[in-house]
Amino acid sequence: MSVHGPQHEERLASLLSGERDAADPDCARWLAECAPCRERWTALRGTCERLEQAAAERRAHLAELRSVKSAPGEERIAAALRRLAEEEPPAQARSVQRIDRGSRRWLLAFAAAAVLAGVWIAARFRDRAPVPERTWLGSERLRLIAPVGDVHSFERFEWSYDGAATSYTLRVFEARGAEPGARLIEKERLKETTWTPAAEDLAKLPRSIVWEVEALDDYRVVQASGRESASLSR
């Protein structure tokens, strides 16, 4: 009976890469004698077999493409790509740096901590603290339509987003110049791209406001955000 150790790990690696053959008598004996190696080899082969099945499916799908003459949405691809190239220039796309998954996990953990900290701070300073300078995400896809600039009323808030958002968060602030002051209204989990304030909401609003919208995905991660200001015309 052999003892499972680092050498066995190397052997498993070489078996997996094909440098060794499991049918080789020496390998067969080793696998017969070392139960952990035997179990691992079974599992590793299972994983590879599953990958091969997935690869076969992928190949079959790609081969099937040749027989597809047209598909829904195909006629819009060229125009959509031209629009994307204009609205979201490649240089902007390039500026998104690649991050390896290890770093991404840290970033996600950091982002989660930052969100929690943000929630705590917001709870403490609700209605009081001025909102700090923000970086707007995907604002080229999220457009705040109304109210913007001088308007007759704040009776309808409207925006558009051409991405896939599950919900929106709308916040309305008292305006301090062009910057937001105290938060007056916050509406979360809005499903539509419009919001009509109730009478009591309208009563809270001063003559000049700053409002912002965040588009969120299934996991409540902000996909895009934007901000506008509006004033009631005299």
Binding region for other proteins (CB under 8 A): 12-14, 16-17, 19, 22-23, 28, 31-32, 38, 41-55, 57-58, 61-62, 64-65, 68, 70-74, 76-78, 80-82, 84-85, 88-91, 93-94, 96, 98, 100-102, 162-164, 218
In whole angstroms, how close is the CB of 69 to other proteins at the nearest point?
A: 9
In whole angstroms, how close is the CB of 111 to other proteins at the nearest point?
A: 17
Q: For residues 15 and 112, give the distance between their C-alpha atoms in angstroms, rounded to a whole number.
A: 41
Residue nearer to other proteins on the CB measure, 60 or 199 = 60
For 123, the enclosing helix (H) or strand (E) is helix 101-124
In whole angstroms, how close is the CB of 45 to other proteins at the nearest point?
A: 5
Residue nearer to other proteins on the CB measure, 72 or 177 = 72
Residue nearer to other proteins on the CB measure, 30 or 195 = 30
Residue nearer to other proteins on the CB measure, 137 or 148 = 137
In whole angstroms, how close is the CB of 119 to other proteins at the nearest point?
A: 26
Residue 180, CA atoms < 13 Å, CB-side half-sphere? 21
In whole angstroms, how close is the CB of 203 to other proteins at the nearest point?
A: 34
Q: Which of 148, 110, 168, 128 is nearest to 233 (CA)?
A: 148
What DSSP state is assigned to residue 67?
G
Residue nearer to other proteins on the CB measure, 84 or 232 = 84
Residue nearer to other proteins on the CB measure, 77 or 116 = 77
Q: For residues 94 and 89, give the distance between their C-alpha atoms in angstroms, rounded to a whole number.
A: 9
Q: For residues 4 and 89, give the distance between their C-alpha atoms in angstroms, rounded to a whole number.
A: 55
Q: For residues 191 and 169, give the distance between their C-alpha atoms in angstroms, rounded to a whole number.
A: 9
Q: For residues 64 and 90, give the distance between their C-alpha atoms in angstroms, rounded to a whole number.
A: 31
Helices and strands of the chain, counted as H and E runs: 7, 8
4's CB contacts (< 8 A; 6+ apart) are 34, 35, 36, 37
Residue nearer to other proteins on the CB measure, 75 or 200 = 75
Q: Are 144 and 224 in contact (CB under 8 A)?
A: no
